[in-house]
């Protein structure tokens, strides 16, 4: 099974950087979810993460990456190591060379292109550095900010999956946005 490569140095476009998530991000993540009561729902979580859940995820991150199962990237603004959001890549299907993404940005950094820039950096790394041919973002159809960020990062809006997921006991629709590696076959 392929592994997700180590990201030894943060990737940057000069304004935004991404690096592997670290335990030191946990306090800022907890504050982000505390400051924005809608954040968990916007990214499809039934509840905000707890410190214990984030700690366990941090402890298993290296194994998840080494086994090709998942990777979480922390979003940073230029000149800072403070977590401004995260991109989580999971459900890697190495046989078909694709994975699912989710993204969130702290409330104070929204509307400034942080999510768009971070998604573009992550997409390039996942498609070129990890050998994937397709990455997709599944978001609530009314999450206009996430849709705009994905479109700005080169993702294409592919449509709506009706009653695709269950959130808080209710079936919900999700919008599918995808980016494919250049040269991947189109049908």
Number of domains in the chain: 1
| 20-24, 39-43, 152-156, 180-184: range with lowest mean pLDDT | 180-184
d(CA 120, CA 60): 26
The reply to whether 164 falls in a domain is no
Percent of the chain with pLDDT over 70: 97
Does position 89 have pLDDT exceeding 50, yes or no? yes
pLDDT at 47 over 60: yes
Q: Which domain holds residue 129?
A: 11-137
Asked whether 16 and 114 are in contact (CB, 8 A), the reply is yes
Domain assignment present for residue 165? The answer is no
In a domain, 56, yes or no: yes
pLDDT tens-digit readout, 97-120: 999 999 999 999 999 999 999 999
Q: Report yes or no on 173 lying in a domain.
A: no
Q: Is 183 inside any structural domain?
A: no
| Rounded Cα gap, residues 126 and 135, in angstroms | 8
β-partners of residue 180 are: 134
**pLDDT tens digits, residue range 21-35?**
999 999 999 999 999
pLDDT (mean) for 2-14? 92
Is residue 5 assigned to a domain? no
Residue 113 lies in a domain: yes
Q: Identify which of 37-51, 61-75, 172-186 has the greatest average pLDDT.
A: 61-75
Whether residue 187 is contained in a domain is answered as no
DSSP secondary structure letters along 137-181? EEE-TT-HHHHHHHHHTT-EEEEEEEEEEEETTEEEEEEEEEEE-
* Confidence tier at 155 by pLDDT (50, 70, 90): very high
pLDDT at 36: 94
Residue 16, token pair as written in the block = 């935004």
Say which CATH number the domain at 86 has. Answer: 3.40.630.30
Q: Given a cut of 80, is residue 167 above it in pLDDT? A: no
**What are the residues facing 166 on neighbouring strands?**
171
């Amino acid at each position: 099974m392929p592994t997700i490569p180590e990201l030894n140095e943060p990737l940057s476009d000069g304004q935004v950087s991404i690096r592997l998530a670290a335990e030191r991000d946990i306090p800022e993540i907890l504050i982000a979810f505390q400051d924005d009561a809608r954040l968990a729902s916007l990214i499809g979580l039934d509840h905000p993460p707890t410190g214990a859940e984030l700690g366990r995820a941090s402890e298993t991150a290296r194994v998840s990456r080494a086994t090709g199962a998942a990777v979480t990237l922390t979003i940073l603004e230029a000149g800072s190591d403070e977590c401004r959001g995260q991109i989580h890549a999971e459900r890697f299907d190495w046989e078909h060379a694709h994975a699912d993404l989710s993204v969130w940005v702290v409330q104070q950094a929204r509307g400034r292109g942080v999510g768009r820039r971070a998604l573009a950096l992550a997409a390039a790394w996942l498609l070129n550095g990890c050998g994937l041919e397709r990455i997709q973002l599944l978001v609530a159809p009314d999450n206009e900010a996430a849709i705009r960020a994905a479109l700005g990062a080169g993702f294409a809006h592919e449509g709506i999956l009706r009653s695709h997921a269950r959130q808080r006991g209710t079936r919900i629709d999700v919008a599918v946005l995808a980016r494919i590696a250049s040269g991947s076959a189109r049908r």
